[in-house]
Amino acid sequence: MLWQDAKKYFHYLFDRKPFDAHFSDTMPSARSLAAAHRIRGETHGAALFVHGLMPRSGTVYVGELLRKHLDIHAFPYNIWELPFLQHAADIQQLEDRFLWSYEQNMDKIQDGDFLPVFGAAIVNYLYGDAPQGKRIMLKVPSVEYLHLFSATFPAEHLLVLVRDGRDVVASTVKTWPQIGFSMACRRWQRSARMALDYDREMSCKQHGYWLGKFEDAVAAPDAFAREACKRFDLEPTRFPYEDSLSVPVHGSSELFSSGAIEWAAVAKPEGFDPRGRWRDWSRRRKSIFKRIAGRELIELGYCKDLNW
């Protein structure tokens, strides 16, 4: 257990490979995509994946908001997080080992063909828990290997959820003091860069994809839900907008002081605002964040310049 924790910690802090995007390198064949279509089930609607930049980005809150839609079946089999895409490189390595085991197959199976087949299998598996006619929703606080989402899940929908990196870092170091401040900044910077690069690739796609902001979901949950319905082909009249303000809060770093996260749902306190928690940073901390992640903060629209 200790060894596994150490590996996870090392991966979190130092592994850059999951954020090295190569968008044109993986193109599954038409044969693989057709097989994936059959495997996932032709009658299933598009699954909705919510990928937050990293932990403390608001995926739990947004998941609780969107699951109120009457046509959504959230977190099938009580799988609260689905870290499937994080292991896309393992699927690619399996494919490589498979082909090298019998090299004559290399010109018969195209590079990347395993991804949509494996992705379709997990989607079909999870739909086994969904009532007829409902669409499943899954979430994970990670954008590792996000550039492989379209190859792995070509028929599914994607919400990339971003949050002000200053607040994410402030919440991260409060929740997990063992994570150094500069390392948390680097993690957010890599994640934000991945999301920005993916968004650029998807710039012409207005259907089935959305780069949404956690802050918007908190400030105006009804408007956020309406936009989600529009983006993801959800019937807008099937969302209980009158309940959108009653979404509980899970695990907020502002609502615990014992040093342990409390994941039980609590009513959102009056005046609850997850923004601006970084404002009491020292000049040194502000300087570190600006140097590491200032560019991404500006590109995501959280500030116009670094004069803060």
Query: What average pLDDT does range 198-219 have in this prediction?
Result: 93
Residue type, 129: D
CATH number, domain containing residue 290:
3.40.50
- Does some domain include residue 137? yes
Has residue 257 got a pLDDT over 60? no
d(CA 5, CA 108): 40
Query: What average pLDDT does range 224-235 have in this prediction?
Result: 98
- pLDDT tens across 31-55, in order? 999 999 999 998 999 999 999 999 9
- Does some domain include residue 31? yes
Has residue 92 got a pLDDT over 60? yes
The tally of domains found in the chain comes to 1
- The alpha carbon torsion through 163, 178, 174, 186 (nearest 10 deg) reads -30
- Does some domain include residue 170? yes
What pLDDT does 24 receive? 62
Greater model confidence, 66 or 206: 66
Q: How confident is the model at residue 58 (pLDDT cuts 50, 70, 90)?
A: very high
What pLDDT does 255 receive? 46
Has residue 258 got a pLDDT over 70? no
Q: How confident is the model at residue 4 (pLDDT cuts 50, 70, 90)?
A: low
- pLDDT tens across 232-255, in order? 999 999 999 998 888 877 655 554
With a CB cutoff of 8 Å and minimum separation 6, the contacts of 83 are 140, 142
- Does some domain include residue 261? yes
Has residue 147 got a pLDDT over 50? yes
What pLDDT does 289 receive? 99
- Does some domain include residue 267? yes
SS3 at position 279 = coil
The DSSP element (H or E) to which 139 belongs, if any, is: strand 135-140
What pLDDT does 205 receive? 80
The phi, psi pair for 185, rounded to 5°, reads: -65, -45
What pLDDT does 85 receive? 97
- Does some domain include residue 1? no
What pLDDT does 206 receive? 76
Q: How confident is the model at residue 129 (pLDDT cuts 50, 70, 90)?
A: very high
d(CA 69, CA 238): 6
- pLDDT tens across 135-145, in order? 999 999 999 99
- pLDDT tens across 170-188, in order? 999 999 999 999 999 999 9
- Does some domain include residue 8? no
d(CA 251, CA 123): 28
Q: How far is CA 77 from CA 42, 46, 125, 130, 152, in A?
A: 21, 18, 10, 9, 21
What pLDDT does 252 receive? 57
Query: What average pLDDT does range 7-26 have in this prediction?
Result: 70
- pLDDT tens across 60-87, in order? 999 999 999 999 999 999 999 999 999 9
What pLDDT does 23 receive? 63
DSSP one-letter code for 138: E
d(CA 169, CA 185): 6
SS3 at position 137 = strand
Has residue 291 got a pLDDT over 70? yes
Greater model confidence, 251 or 117: 117
- Does some domain include residue 304? no
Which residue range(s) make up the domain with 166?
17-299
What pLDDT does 10 receive? 61
Average pLDDT, the chain: 91
Q: Which pair of structure tokens corresponds to residue 102?
A: 């019998």
What pLDDT does 187 receive? 97
With a CB cutoff of 8 Å and minimum separation 6, the contacts of 31 are 110, 113
Has residue 12 got a pLDDT over 90? no
Has residue 6 got a pLDDT over 70? no
Nearest to 197 by CA among 125, 133, 149: 149
